[in-house]
Structure 1
Amino acid sequence: MRYDRDMPETIPSSPNPGLRVGFLLARNFTLSAFANFVDMLRLSADEGDRSRPIRARWSVLAHDMAPIRSSSGVTVSPQERPGDPQRFDYIVVVGGLIDEGGTLPREHTDFLHAAAAAGVPLVGLCTGAFLLHRAGLMQGYRCCVSWFHHGDFLEQFDGLVPVSDRIFVVDRDRLTCSGGASSAHLAAWLVERHLGRSVALKSLHIMIIEEAMQADEPQPGLPSELHSADPLVRRAILHMQQSLGLAPPVSRIAEGLGVGRRKLERHFARALGMSPAEAFLRLRLDHVRFLLSSSAHSVTRIAAETGFCDASHLIHTFRDREGTTPEAWRKARREADAAA
């Protein structure tokens, strides 16, 4: 399967579009992050859904002009070589799979350094922040990564703590986002800045996105406070985070990891000083607090989403840990936020 963004020669384009964007796609890049961002540009560039690059223009860049494969297997054909970065208002790096995205080609890293030296802002989508850091272009900057990759970032960049509780971060001439739908919201932020709020809202509405989300909107998940260098423990925590609503027993988690329950318990005791069951409960209660503070969901719905038998089970467990009920905790949190 293949996706080409080459524009037919008959499509008119403005000689001076209000927004010009160049894309560098990592090997095995995340297609949704790229597609959400570029579709915001496409819809903002013209009236309605006609796709003419009038108010905005974009281009996929590659030094060798070879098709670039996404993590889903869909390939994208570059349109031009990097060249002079100053012909763009932004250079966007789209990251992909942590283990397979690796680094950018030297030619692309050199291009990004030239862009930074010329004052062209750099944007990292999804794990694009990893690539920018690895290229030495994020020193002194805050960056956003998905809560899902928070632990990976801490492991790869010792001493650097990313922002994983909001959907995107703008720090001077570095813009980073957690990927997925947040790419559309970061693109909408840029469109509003360069082309106007009405253009940004129109494009979001065509994409069936109700309203623009600001940078400080929380991600639908939280980074874990449980960190370990033990690979087995890290894999188990990730498995738990992906199974909050199911709350499988520890024996099933161990089976899914290909180890025995006793071995998993020994690793958790050595790495975290607690059992896997206690760690799993902490992760679930962390997500309960997140949902209480960031949504209007009922306690019954939150209980179902975090693996508790019912609302009564959640209330009992929550009161044991917090000394109050979920609704009382929510009310106190909102009053504190309002006072702040």
Structure 2
Amino acid sequence: MKHPAPPASEPRLRVGIVLARRFTLCALANFVDVLRLAADEGDRSRPILCRWRLLSQSGESIESSCGLSVQPEERLGDPRRFDYIAVIGGLIDENQPLHADVTRFLHQAAAAKVPLIGICTGAFILHRAGLMQGYRCCVNWFHHDDFRNEFEGLTPVSDRIFVVDRDRITCSGGASSAHLAAFLVDRHIGAAAARKSLAIMIFDEAMAADRPQPGLPLELTTGDPLVKRALLRIQQALDTPLPVARLAEQLGVSRRKLERHFAAALDLTPTEAARRLRLSQARHLLERGDVPITQIALQTGFCDASHLIRVFREAEGLPPDAWRKARQAS
């Protein structure tokens, strides 16, 4: 069944949004604000070129993960009145099963060839509803292992900010929700409208779907809770590296126990894992193209530019500037 094209007087981009219980507010706000800013001249917010509606089966308010509640605007109805249906997830531990009416609505949308979007943990929700079989799926690097544990045998994409696979689009959430919305605006309204929205929101540029997610490198993902906690603490203090003994103390374990867990989970010492994290962040900053090497060294915990250059060359075979030029040329 083909969904009807909107008349010329209607918006060029129509999005219905379903919120999970304890959804992530920033994912909703970033996504909707790009649509809002693209919909009208300046910052007037009239839904002229874009239209977005919050949907639910009951009309009751829905609480976000930060405690603020949002009031849906419409009942579910016919999904064909939208160009996309987006599902915005939130806290993994508190994502309750969708109401049967919502699941039925999403299946009706899929049957009518209305593309489905999973934002943040919305990809989990679409999978649980049986709507992602055979599709590539993007999740936040932080939930990579959660996804693999829940959906045995499936490996998500966790090194890209969003993935477009035919009539399914999945997004890692957070700031990348804005870039996904800009992608939709570009597709339906034009690149100028997408650039305008992002500029007003103080984004330097639109990020393509294959832009790497900032976060833990995939080779450092692990199911070991102690190692995961340690890696997150290391990441939070990249510019001032923690001695292993101090890290173990903060985690409430002995240094020897921490080192044993790292060896079993990653076949690395905590120091080696920290170096990989710092190099990963250095590569991320180099890809931005305009960050000086000295500044990158400071932000990633290297003593100085010379120290970063030496370690980077050992890891990549090229000094940072040459590596950056090679990436820009590719």
Structure-2-length-normalised TM-score: 0.87
| 1:220 pairs with one of 205, 214, 217 | 214
The Cα of 1:137 is off from its aligned counterpart by 1.3
User: In the aligned structure 1, how far is the partner of 2:38 from the partner of 2:283?
Assistant: 37
Q: Structure 2: how far apart are the matches of 1:220 and 1:258?
A: 28
Q: Any residues of structure 2 matched to 1:1-340 within 5 Å, and which?
A: 16-221=10-215, 223-322=217-316, 324-331=318-325, 333-334=326-327, 338=329
- Partner of 2:52, secondary structure, is strand
Once the two structures are aligned, what percentage of the paired residues are identical?
65
Q: Is the contact between residue 164 and residue 223 of structure 1 (CA under 8 Å) also seen in structure 2?
A: no
CA RMSD between the two structures: 2.4
Corresponding residue of 2:4: none
Amino acid at match of 1:195: I
- Cα pair distance change 1:208/1:317, threshold 3 Å: closer
> What one-letter code is carried by the residue in structure 2 that aligns with 1:232?
L
CA contact 1:28–1:97 (8 Å) conserved in 2 = yes
| 1:28–1:69 CA contact under 8 A, matched in 2 | yes
Q: Aligned partners of 2:271, 2:76: CA distance in 1, in Å?
A: 51
Please give the per-residue CA displacement for 1:192-219, whole angstroms capped at 9, x wherever unaligned. 2222333333333333334433223333
Q: 1:246 deviation in Å?
A: 2.5
Contact 1:164 1:222 in 2 (8 A): no
Tell me the CA shift for residue 91 of structure 1: 0.6
Please state how far the C-alpha of 1:328 moved relative to its aligned partner.
4.1
Q: CA deviation at 1:257?
A: 2.5
Q: CA deviation at 1:27?
A: 1.6
- Give the distance between the partners of 1:244 and 1:102, measured in 2 at CA: 35
* Equivalent in the alignment of 1:7: none
Q: Deviations over 1:17-72 (max 9, x none)?
A: 32221111112211111111112222233333222223322211111222111122
Q: With structure 1 as the length reference, what TM-score do the two structures score?
A: 0.85
| Conserved 8 A contact 1:167-1:219 | yes
Q: Distance in 2 between the 1:268 and 1:199 partners?
A: 48
Deviation at 1:269, TM superposition (A): 2.1
Deviations 1:243-275 (A, max 9, x none): 322321222322332322222112222222332
* CA-to-aligned-CA distance 1:140-172 (integer Å, 9 cap, x gap): 111222233333333333332322333222111
Q: Please tell me whether the aligned partners of residues 222 and 290 of structure 1 are also in contact (alpha carbons under 8 angstroms).
A: no
Residues 229 and 28 (structure 1 numbering): CA distance in 2 closer, same or farther, change over 3 Å? same
Distance 1:318 1:164 in 2: 24
Cα separation, 2, equivalents of 1:87 and 1:123: 16
Report the secondary structure of 2:214's partner residue: coil
Q: Matched residue of 2:53: which SS?
A: strand
Letter paired with 2:141: W
Residues of 2 paired with 1:171 and 1:126: CA distance? 16
Q: Contact (CA 8 Å) 1:185, 1:212: kept in 2 or not?
A: yes
- Bigger shift: 159-168 or 315-324? 315-324
Paired residues of 1:241 and 1:283 also in contact (CA < 8 A): yes
SS in 1 for 2:131: coil
Greater CA deviation, 21-30 or 225-234?
225-234
Structure 2 portions without partners, runs of 5+ = 1-7
Unaligned runs of 5+ in 1: 1-13
User: Secondary structure of 1:225's partner?
Assistant: helix
Question: Compared with structure 1, are the counterparts of its residues 292 and 211 closer, same or farther at alpha carbon in structure 2 (3 Å cutoff)?
Answer: closer
The question of whether the paired residues in 2 share the 8 Å contact of 1:227 and 1:234 is answered with yes
Distance 1:153 1:17, change over 3 A: same
Listed one character per residue, the Cα deviations across residues 312-332 of structure 1 (whole Å, up to 9, x for unaligned) are 33233334445553334444x
Could you say what secondary structure the match of 1:274 adopts?
coil
Distance in 2, Cα, partners of 1:330 & 1:56: 38
